[in-house]
Structure 1
Amino acid sequence: MDITTLGIDLAKSVFQLHGVDAVGTVVLKKKLRRGVVLDFLGKLPPCLIGMEACATSNYWARAITALGHEVKLIPPAYVKPYVKRQKNDAADAEAICEAVTRPNMRFVPLKSAGRQGVLVLHRTRDLLMRQRTMMLNAIRGHLAEFGVIAAQGSRNVMALIAQLQTEGRFDLPDIARSALLGLAAQLASLTAEIRALERRLMAWHREDATSQRLETIPGVGIITATALSASIPDPSVFKSGRQFAAFLGLVPRQNSSGGKDRLGRISKMGDGYLRRLLVVGATSVIRRAGTNETATGSWVRSLLERKPARVVTVAMANKTARIAWVVLNRGEVYRGSPAV
């Protein structure tokens, strides 16, 4: 078979393949079980292979690339316009095969196993942080049922736990005290595990030059820097900082027509985790804007005079994303300019 382009619809067990030759004639339509995909592709001559970016796509891209093929990952939203009528595995594979050949198509950068491992650290830490918040709220809420009130914040809840561990401090039934002490033990275990993950991220940060350069940007700490470095191994797939910000969903959603530009809220497309980290970092920049004597500080203060603080925070996150793309693309550190 003279296959030049192949579209693969990934699945849990059964994969659908759609291949065409140099003139676009369909030469392959085939279903394969997961275990025989690599054996089949290993017998084909090198060709261009397209797949939708999903949870397992990076693994399959690395494995297929090792066989000599060129693999490109496409965002699923960019494949959807090429699906004809009914949606099924065969139609999806055909749409992927068509989309991967478009000259203006945008692709997702392929991540190495090491960088995926760093992202696993991030996802695990994020999950444990949510569980920790749930534990804190549960302890605070259960104590409130017995008239023990504390202000919001982890420090206030930890102070309550310290008092709870002292016998006779609160007038609680023994059965309730034992349950709350169990939650406190789980909270301590979660906190220790989060600290261990953060130490692992710090160790990786000290070994990664890209992450260290990103940390020089205002509003970007170690957590954000390591997440950006691991998520964007090849910044050249984005033509500009604006395109990178759009990839993160930090640009306004457009509904323009008839020559009239209508811009709404941010699109919230792309990686929500990175977007959240950038917004949190931008919040810290906004809070220090009054004492920031750089051009960024002057720009933030001028926006705050005209816009709500939350809108300015998102605008600052957009600006940070564009600066991060420049730092990634040029391999330089951030150099802030003084205010005029």
Structure 2
Amino acid sequence: MKYYCGLDVSLNKTSICIVNQNGDLIREGEVPTEPEDIHVWLSSLGFPLERVGLEAGSLSPWLCHELLGERWPVICIETRHTKAALKAQNVKTDRNDARGIAHIMRTGWFKEVHLKSHQSQKLRVLLNNRRCLLDKRQDIERQIRGTLKVFGLKVGPVKRSAYEDRIRELINDDRELQDYILPMLDARRALIQQHKNLEKLVLSYVKEDDVCRRFMTMPGVGPLTALAFKTFVDRPERFPHSKNVGAALGLTPRKYASGEVDYDGHITKCGDRFVRSHLYEAAKVLMSRTGKPSSLKSWSMRIARRSSQKNACVAVARQIAVVMHAMWRDGTVFRFNTDQDDPSIAAA
């Protein structure tokens, strides 16, 4: 008899459900969300488990790595599939969700999520925190601009380096506004400094990493795009074909075919939004700022002429991901080939 386990993880408690291959409920329970507690509870069953499933979430990488270390067959499953399967339940509770995940494990109707290595997870923390500081700095600048508009004080176009001087110039005659605005400028200055510190860490890592340096031989790909793509792929062998990377990043069209209806929609956007946005920016740079000719740029220009600039950028972003994966897999650099029409041969 085969047995399957479902874990519904929350911050403090984890609901556990065990079912057999016939769908019969064997045992249920609730333990603290700690790998050791889950391991002890599962070990008390006294029989082996075929699969242990939990939904992807913020705690999932930690729990999966720890339970895998205890030799449990843990699988992290995709959230959209889980939501679709559990939607049929009339009553949503942690207990019912654990039961539903156990049945998903039993039927095999799930999509496994790749667990990134600890190194990739740490690098993604670096990239995300750098982006967070940048967003907060921009939020403060917008807040100050909106605040001063009420009094007819217009900041206007200004460079980042001259922004603080411009604000001080506008509020120079108003002591009360100075008390309200200057703390915001102090916070902005601190954010800029810490953002620069994280930026240096990114650049220093990319400078020493051979894979990222090879990625940057492709036009339009800078340090942030190279590092973001590397942390997403993590291991090139997990994609058997380079073209699968574009689909994993949500850069392929939706497909709807039912009865007499058959059409392709917009891109799915189902993958990593952070990496997808960087690839899109890299595509724009390749098309508009790169002077050196290449088969990839020629191909993108033909798409832009017959479709639109936006569609061309999406197509080029997908192709950049495909070529970068091929470069990583084969240990090659980008080749500026202008004799071939197919950009997929640009890595050689």
The TM tier, using the shorter chain, reads 0.7 to 0.9
- Candidates 108, 111, 124, aligned match of 2:113: 108
Correspondence 1:305 to 2:337: no
CA RMSD of aligned residues (A): 3.0
C-alpha distance in structure 2 between counterparts of 1:271 and 1:283, whole Å: 19
Secondary structure, in 3 states, of the residue corresponding to 1:265? strand
C-alpha distance in structure 2 between counterparts of 1:238 and 1:94, whole Å: 31
> CA 1:326/1:91 → structure 2, altered by over 3 Å: closer, same or farther?
farther
Q: Provide the residue aligned with 1:85 in structure 2.
A: 89
Q: Provide the residue aligned with 2:79 in structure 1.
A: 76
Secondary structure, in 3 states, of the residue corresponding to 1:64? helix
C-alpha distance in structure 2 between counterparts of 1:18 and 1:331, whole Å: 45
C-alpha distance in structure 2 between counterparts of 1:261 and 1:238, whole Å: 28
Residue 9 of structure 1 aligns with an amino acid whose one-letter code is: D
Secondary structure, in 3 states, of the residue corresponding to 2:306? coil
Contact persistence 2:4–2:50 (CA under 8 A): yes
Contact persistence 1:107–1:237 (CA under 8 A): no
Secondary structure, in 3 states, of the residue corresponding to 1:16? strand
Q: Quote how far apart the aligned CAs of 1:239 are.
A: 4.3
C-alpha distance in structure 2 between counterparts of 1:210 and 1:5, whole Å: 40
> CA 1:207/1:151 → structure 2, altered by over 3 Å: closer, same or farther?
same
C-alpha distance in structure 1 between counterparts of 2:3 and 2:216, whole Å: 43
Secondary structure, in 3 states, of the residue corresponding to 1:255? strand
C-alpha distance in structure 2 between counterparts of 1:201 and 1:191, whole Å: 15
100-109 or 26-35, which deviates more: 100-109
Q: Provide the residue aligned with 1:37 in structure 2.
A: 38
Q: Provide the residue aligned with 2:252 in structure 1.
A: 251
Q: Provide the residue aligned with 2:273 in structure 1.
A: 272
What percentage of residue pairs aligned between the two structures are identical?
24
Count residues in correspondence.
334
Q: Which runs of 5+ in 1 are unaligned?
A: none
Q: Quote how far apart the aligned CAs of 1:47 are.
A: 4.7
Secondary structure, in 3 states, of the residue corresponding to 2:258? coil
Contact persistence 1:19–1:28 (CA under 8 A): yes
> CA 1:14/1:170 → structure 2, altered by over 3 Å: closer, same or farther?
closer
Q: Quote how far apart the aligned CAs of 1:259 are.
A: 5.6
Q: Quote how far apart the aligned CAs of 1:90 are.
A: 3.8
Contact persistence 2:172–2:178 (CA under 8 A): no
> CA 1:20/1:205 → structure 2, altered by over 3 Å: closer, same or farther?
farther
- TM superposition score normalised by structure 1: 0.84
Contact persistence 1:286–1:300 (CA under 8 A): yes
Q: Deviations over 1:218-265 (max 9, x none)?
A: 332211222222233234444434432222222222222236431222
186-195 or 330-339, which deviates more: 330-339
C-alpha distance in structure 2 between counterparts of 1:279 and 1:187, whole Å: 28
Q: Quote how far apart the aligned CAs of 1:42 are.
A: 5.0
218-227 or 192-201, which deviates more: 218-227
C-alpha distance in structure 2 between counterparts of 1:20 and 1:332, whole Å: 49
Contact persistence 1:216–1:333 (CA under 8 A): yes
Q: Provide the residue aligned with 2:126 in structure 1.
A: 121
Q: Deviations over 1:98-140 (max 9, x none)?
A: 4446678532111233322221112211111111111222333
Matches of residues 38-187 of structure 1 in structure 2 within 5 Å? 38-42=39-43, 45=48, 47-83=50-86, 84-86=88-90, 87-100=92-105, 105-152=110-157, 155=159, 158-165=161-168, 172-187=173-188
Q: Which runs of 5+ in 2 are unaligned?
A: 341-348
Q: Provide the residue aligned with 2:344 in structure 1.
A: none
Contact persistence 1:7–1:93 (CA under 8 A): yes
